Amino acid sequence: MKILISLLIIAVFWVVPAPAPLTQIGMRVIGVFIGTVLLLSLVDTVWPAILAVALLGRTGVASLNAAIAGTLGSWIVYFVLMSFVMTYALNKSGFTDRLVAKFMSMKFVSKSPWVFTSSMATIGLILACFMDQVPAAAFMLMFANKVYEELGYTKKDAYPHIANIMVIYAVIIGGAMTPISHSLALLGMGIYEAAAGASMSLFTYLTFGVPTGLVLYVFLTAVMRLTCRKVDMSKFEHFDVQKVLKQQGKMQLRELITVIIFFGTVVMWMLPGVAGMFTEAPWVAALNDYGITFWAILSVVLMAVISVNDEPIINLKEVMNSQINWAILIFIAIGVYLGSAMSNELTGINAWITSNITPLTSSVPPIVVVLIITTAGVLLTNFASNVSTITVMTGVGVSLALASGGAINPAGIALCTTMAGSCAYLLPSSFACIAMLHGNDWSDSKKVYIFGIVMMVASSLAIGLVGYSVGCALT
């Protein structure tokens, strides 16, 4: 029945006339989007993704070959694949066990289960402040999953479901807080500068993003704590951390090399973003041109080539054949591509959103305009591409501000729409990190939807009220 209802929704949107400025292509894409999300959430996470590729190839938004290239051929999918291989190597070397044991033995984090959980999420928050969210999410999921195993939880227990959400949402918030190694923040700043003819420094975004993000993170922690009181955390009481510590021997050469390659790659991911805050030297631009995927590929190749005792750090053929969860990669691939398909100009969806939002702001106070634009940005980025969300909503927001006669601060609203475009919590189509969360064996998609909606509301209010006030004070 679930399958029939989902397919019926797709069929209805295929034939229903499109209200301008939506196009018939847009209606078909919306139908495929809704039907696919329902199938992925309620039925299966693999075959609906494959079906969606075929259906998108018939909507007119892209040919079938283009749809295949846009999913499995996407740089994001390739980057996630390399990240999976890197985290597998780190796990196989024994370093993940060592790191988890060290973390679990710290006196501060072991005070209570909730202090432990929030501390784990804080690691994700800090990590994502300085590096791309995708590898940060991959690393934190691997780290957290190992913690659940050590504690003796099963994949059906509620605690891992809640902790996974908290950790990945912390990664999302951390990535939205800073422009360091985050292309989305740089995109929004660039759109503002082109539209307003004024510059915006990385420090301005940093000063705006950190306090706003911290408000969101405190709210996330409080909500999780208050709504999950009945979650079973008894396994913490019976856990013997000394047993785990005794299993850790001296670091061997293989583990050391793996750690150097892995964290050396992390440094190369972070270096252009950090250095860009202090200098515009040519070497910074040169490093940026390489992109993050290049260093991930190089890392995997080094691990496959370098041998210890005549055995490579990783047997890449074996890893690809038996250790990679291709189902999750397919799930991520269609999630990302659905978002970009929704944002394609041929659909008319962005034009429809713009034409319907602008009239709403014509006769309301400036702060209400800011809240409407920010909320629209958060809502859109949880269904469609975050890149197109920031592009469209920042353009709309800055245009409204420039036409307001000074009632709305252009820089302030640009900062809000940029951060709003990074706050994806809900659907696999919104962000690769969320697709990874939904696809993880220790997650519960139903809980992701519930807390995702709560965080969407919180993000709209925090960014529109707190963030805009901070942005206005800075500019």
Q: For 8-50, what is each residue's pLDDT tens digit?
A: 999 999 999 988 888 999 999 989 988 887 887 778 878 988 9
Tokens in use for 85?
Answer: 């291989």
> What pLDDT score was predicted for residue 168?
97
Tokens standing for 329? 């990669």
The neighbour count for residue 164, using CB atoms within 10 Å, is 24
Question: Each residue of 258-295: pLDDT tens digit?
Answer: 999 998 998 888 788 778 778 888 888 888 888 888 99
pLDDT value of residue 418: 93
pLDDT of 241 reads 61
pLDDT, one tens digit per residue, over 415-426 is 999 999 999 999
Please tell me the predicted confidence (pLDDT) of residue 415: 94
Q: How confident is the chain (475 residues) per 10-residue block, as mean pLDDT?
A: 89 90 91 85 83 91 90 82 87 80 74 87 89 86 88 91 96 91 81 83 88 96 89 79 63 91 87 79 86 90 93 92 83 77 81 75 83 92 81 83 84 94 88 88 93 96 94 83
Work out the end-to-end distance of the chain between its first and last CA atoms, rounded to an integer number of angstroms: 55
Give the distance from CA 351 to its chain's centroid: 25
CA atoms of 245 and 43, how far apart (whole Å): 41
Supply the pLDDT for residue 173: 96
Q: Determine the Cα–Cα distance for residues 401 and 76; give it in Å rounded to an integer.
A: 34
